[in-house]
Structure 1
Amino acid sequence: MRFPIPRAAVGGVVLALLLSACGGGDRPLATVDRVDLQRYAGTWYEIARLPQWFQRGCYNSTATYQPMDNGGLKVINRCQREDGPSVAEGEARVVPDSGNAKLKVRFDNWFSRLLPRIAEGNYWIIALDKDYRTVVIGEPGREYLWILARDPRLPEDQYQALLEGAREKGFPVDELKRNRDLVPASPAPVEG
């Protein structure tokens, strides 16, 4: 999941460096065999994520996927920030011969319009339950990881099982931030 990128020139350079680092690693990363994009479509709730600068301050994040005529998916990421809601729209294209389990995601912003292929990020589906109720998304460099579910809350035993699967694949799961821990405390009432 990604959210709008700051327009500062430094932000563009940083983004380019980060995306180039996401191209792979020494360790292969297995994905699920096949994804039915029609069943995958719809809204997913973020349960946990590895912290990313583009999601700083976000909580109650969702990702909505809509099938497109070109075989890809429209992506709409939403989150709440203390100053209001945030929305980022993009597109996911399927990597050929991946069984739809490997996607390249690009969000609509000035940087992606300038350098579309460089601004794409790996979005690999590394775990997906048979009922399409939970999913784990990662990328070969193990820098990005999201645990998503169709419901905003996930039973602890299911969360722990997904966590263990990601750990076995080499992700730094001890760094995961759970959505429930990202929601800010209610503001104190104003006296007066």
Structure 2
Amino acid sequence: MLIKSMRQFCLFLLVVTLMGCTGVPDNVKPVEGFELPKYMGKWYEIARFDHSFEEGLSQVTATYSMREDGGVKVLNRGFSKEESEWDEAEGKAYFVGDPSIGHFKVSFFGPFYASYVIMALDKKDYQYSLVTGPDKSYLWILARTPTLDQTTINQLLKQAQLAGYDTSQLIWVAHTAP
């Protein structure tokens, strides 16, 4: 009886932990009126918070395309100057809820998912976005081109700061040829 109870408790903790990874950070609201077809294609990483999975990478891009199962194929790519080669990671993403809300769960490792929350977006032309993960240690500024005008950058930084992000920790991504 005790062993069965412990197993159920451990399963409960695992489910709660995994569900917590697809939540939305405090003071962040995913964009509404999201249109997935407009978001498809190639995005350039303008700035990011540092994480081991992108450490030392420049020329980072994310390319989104439809999967046969209705999800989104995610292909992240960056150049490692240290290794003199391109590094790629392929994942999959699915809406967490309503497809008109910019909130996905994304996985690069089997059954483990984390949030991909679009907190700002150029809803007219889909030329830039501000994205966070399951907590405030994740932040990306993305654009359809390798550069973004300073006025838009300032606007996105202000929105991130108002939501509680320390934007002084952003790494500005170089997009020059290797």
How does the TM-score come out when normalised to structure 2? Answer: 0.80
Q: How does 1:80-95 map to 2 (within 5 A)?
A: 80-82=79-81, 83=83, 84-95=85-96
Change in 2 beyond 3 A, CA 1:165/1:100: same
Aligned pairs (5 A) from 1:1-192: 22=21, 24=23, 27-82=26-81, 83=83, 84-97=85-98, 99-107=100-108, 112-113=109-110, 116=111, 119-130=112-123, 131-180=125-174
1:18-56: per-residue Cα shift (whole Å, max 9, x none)?
988745587242111132111100000000001111111
The RMSD of aligned alpha carbons is 2.5
**Runs of 4+ residues deviating >3 angstroms:** 18-26
Q: Give CA deviations for 1:133-162 in whole Å, capped at 9, x if unaligned.
A: 000101342110000000001111111111
Instruction: Give, in whole Å, the separation in 1 of the partners of 2:146 and 2:22.
Output: 30
Aligned position for 1:8: none
More strand by share: 2
- Identity rate of aligned residues, in percent? 37
Deviations 1:65-91 (A, max 9, x none): 002233321000000001110011010
**Separation in 2, partners of 1:149, 1:90:** 20
Amino acid at match of 1:88: A
Deviation at 1:170, TM superposition (A): 1.1
Unmatched segments (≥5 aa) in structure 1: 1-17, 187-192
TM normalised by structure 1 equals 0.75
List gaps (5 residues or longer) in structure 2: 1-16
| More displaced stretch, 145-154 vs 21-30 | 21-30
> Residues of 1 paired with 2:19 and 2:170: CA distance?
22
Structure whose alpha-carbon radius of gyration is higher: 2
- Aligned residue pairs total 159
